[in-house]
Amino acid sequence: MKPVLGIETSCDETAAAVVDGDGRILAEAVLSQLAEHAPFGGVVPEIAARSHLRYLPEQVRQTMVKAGVDFRDLAGIAASSGPGLIGGLIVGSQFAKGIAIANGLPFVPINHLEAHALTARLPGLVVDGAPFPYLLFLLSGGHSQCIAVEDVGQHIRLGGTIDDAVGEAFDKVAKLLGLDWPGGPALEKLAETGDPNRYPFPRPMLRRPGCNLSLSGLKTAVAQTMMRLGEISPAQPECADIAASFQQAVVDVLADRATHAMDMMHARFPGSNLLVVAGGVASNTQVRKALSEAARVRGFRMVAPPVRLCSDNAVMVAWAGIERLRRGVSDDISFAAQPRWPLEALQALAS
């Protein structure tokens, strides 16, 4: 199959990539808006949309030049069309439609979650590949979900967060600790010097049936502890102990939820034994260690795409486009970007 151009603008990364039918990445670019949002302590949707609008056209031009591919040589244009921040989704998907119409190419609207879900199938990315069906544990700033990935367009949501996403919880607690946004990596660093057993924070949902998550109670417990301690700076040992104790509570919850998810997966698909972990939080060493151990105990193989491909990027969007076009999914120029687009709704799109 000819190459596909992928475009990602669902949150705070502007990204473009050209991937060929064999999964070779011909060119890719990711522009992070971190610096633009940092003064506000989180992503500002209006700033995100304007920034995509400003940088995407030139980024796509340069990516195509780097790939050495002309628009007319493409099999199609794929763009994240939901779920996400609607302003950015409109910028990316309408831009993609414009290129598609101008060059007589199919436009493939991509569900951003499906793009994460299919990344592990990029040829050569993970050892021994990722044949269907497999279990995806998606742990990012906006999503925390356990998904049974049965096929392209066929996903079963086994569970997920009922309040904060895992990355969001890391970011909020990091903010309480006086760390900069996004707080996950900074909190992990601070936790290295802390005592994970100093504060016995709650482990919400532990051992409950299913694999739903809830982290807002844990976040509140941290806030209450900090209030009790009064004014403390990130340099004080109490802060490192809080960071380490919070991280340990999250790790324990994630390992438990993943274990339940693997049991649910096994009940539905007795032959399945693959756990794919993705999203920014998957780069946390303690999280990886605990999930890998939980997988080993359950007889599962755990794989995690490299961080640059499991946080937001356009390679995954182009690849999802290839997987869809291969299944004969045809042009869908009338598809309107959707801020909410559950994976279960995808089945109707699969051919």
Which residues, numbered 130-159, are part of the site for Zn ion (CB under 5 A)?
Answer: 140
Provide the residue type at 74 as one letter.
Answer: L
Q: How far is the CB of 1 from ligand KG4 (least distance, A)?
A: 28
Q: Which residue lies nearer to ligand KG4 by CB, 99 or 188?
A: 188
> What does the alpha-carbon distance between residue 327 and residue 179 come to, in Å, rounded to a whole number?
46
Q: Is the peptide bond before 305 cis (omega within 30 degrees of 0)?
A: no
CB of 193 to ligand KG4, least distance (A): 15
Nearest Cα neighbor of 300 from 330, 277, 327 is: 277
Q: Least CB distance from residue 73 to ligand KG4, whole Å?
A: 30
DSSP helix/strand/coil, 169: helix
**Which residue carries 């996403």 as its tokens?**
165
Cβ count near 80 (within 10 Å): 32
Which of Zn ion, ligand KG4, none sits in contact with 184, Cβ below 5 to 8 A by type? ligand KG4
Least distance in Å: CB of 338 to ligand KG4? 17
Beta bridge partners of 302: 275
Q: Give the range of 45-53, 72-80, 87-95, 277-285 binding ligand KG4 by CB under 6 A.
A: 277-285
Q: Taking CB under 6 A as the rule, does residue 178 contact ligand KG4? A: no
The CA–CA distances, whole Å, from 41 to 44, 172, 347 equal 9, 10, 37
Q: Which is nearer to Zn ion, 83 or 196 (CB)?
A: 83
Burial class of 235 by CB neighbour count within 10 A (0 to 12, 13 to 18, 19+): exposed
Total residues belonging to the chain: 351
183 forms part of the interface with ligand KG4 (CB under 6 A) = yes
Using CB under 6 A, pick the residue from 87, 141, 153, 196 that binds ligand KG4: 141
CB of 143 to Zn ion, least distance (A): 7
Show contacts with Zn ion in window 284-343 (CB under 5 A). 312
| CB-based contact 314:339 (threshold 8 Å) | no
Report what 167 binds from Zn ion, ligand KG4, none; CB cut-off 5-8 Å by kind.
ligand KG4
Write phi, then psi, for 173 (nearest 5 degrees): -65, -40
Nearer to ligand KG4, 183 or 196 (CB): 183
Instruction: Report if residue 33 touches ligand KG4, rule: CB under 6 A.
Output: no
User: Considering only 73-81, 134-142, 146-154, 197-205, which stretch makes contact with ligand KG4 by CB under 6 A?
Assistant: 134-142
The item of Zn ion, ligand KG4, none sharing an interface with residue 182, based on CB under 5 to 8 Å by kind, is: ligand KG4
Q: How far is the CB of 321 from ligand KG4 (least distance, A)?
A: 19
Shortest reach from residue 50's CB to ligand KG4, in Å: 19
Total of chain residues touching ligand KG4, rule CB under 6 A: 20
Note whether 113 and 343 are within 8 A (CB): yes
Using the minimum distance from each CB to ligand KG4, give the nearer residue, 3 or 167: 167
Q: What angle do CA 18, 53, 140 make, to 5 degrees?
A: 65
Longest dimension (CA), the chain: 64
- Taking the complex as a whole, how short is the minimal distance between the CB of residue 187 and ligand KG4, in angstroms? 6
Phi, psi of 76 (to 5 degrees): 170, 175
Distances (CA, A) of 223 to 42, 129, 169, 177, 236: 19, 42, 12, 9, 16
Residues making contact with ligand KG4 (CB under 6 A): 11, 140-142, 167-168, 170-171, 182-185, 188, 279-281, 283-284, 311-312
